[in-house]
Amino acid sequence: MTETLPHMLRSDAEENRQRVLEAARELFSERGLDVPMRMIARRAGVGPATLYRRFPTKQSLVDEAFTDELRSCQTIVAEACVDANPWRGFCSFLFRIGELNARNQGFTDAFMSTFRDSVDIAAHRQGILRSLAALCQRAQLAGSMRGDLVLDDVVLVLMAGRGISAPTLDARIAAARRFSALAIEAFRAPGPETGIQLPPPARVAAAML
């Protein structure tokens, strides 16, 4: 009993933390970074005291929510890269990262415009691109991905996907999934009579860094 109670308390605290972070990301995406802390507490279903005990300032909550966002992105890429089937891993990456961007696009844009210097976003993106390059190479060697694809093509799709706009979150997610599916078909190794000659690559990866 003495071991169970502390474990339950830790579990409840972590559940509250996750609910607060999820509510914060949703509201930051919908309303910007000026949303009141009490509104975040209401959305999360916790009291203001619980919110402030975990995040004593708005800045601490914003920073943790964005760090959590980066961590989610890294997890998506890492899980795609360890898939024994590189093409399946790549497809999973595009679908999952597209939905993540659709859910939290407004928050990411607001954070980057206000606190650009508070995180080393370039280092984060460099790590992501290195992992994606290795994944794409594996998929090409397996014959699943078109051989003339370059990393900049993947970046181009990611940049385009961030521009998806829809009146509701559900519609935005549906559009992101449709866009990812279309992109996957473009990246798939073509058959003997279906391939097209690609124009020269657009060197856009540097723009992300």
pLDDT in tens, 45-77: 999 998 998 999 999 999 899 888 889 999 999
Q: How far apart are the first and last CA of the chain?
A: 52
Q: In CATH terms, is domain 1-56 a member of 3.30.465.10? A: no
Domain ranges of the chain: 1-56, 65-208
129, two tokens: 């691109």
**What is the distance between the alpha carbons of residues 72 and 11, in angstroms, rounded to a whole number?**
20
Of 99 and 119, more confident: 99
Q: How far is CA 61 from CA 24, 47, 69, 143, 175, in A?
A: 8, 15, 12, 45, 29
3 state DSSP class of 188 = strand
Dihedral pair phi/psi, residue 57, rounded to 5°: -135, 160
Task: Specify burial of residue 158 (Cβ count, 10 A radius: 0-12, 13-18, 19+).
Answer: buried
Is the domain covering 65-208 a CATH 2.40.110.10 domain? no
pLDDT tens digits along 126-154: 999 999 999 999 999 999 999 999 999 99
Q: How far apart are CA 164 and CA 155, in angstroms?
A: 15
Q: What is the pTM of this model?
A: 0.82
Same fold: 1-56 with 65-208? no
Token code pair at residue 175? 């559009």
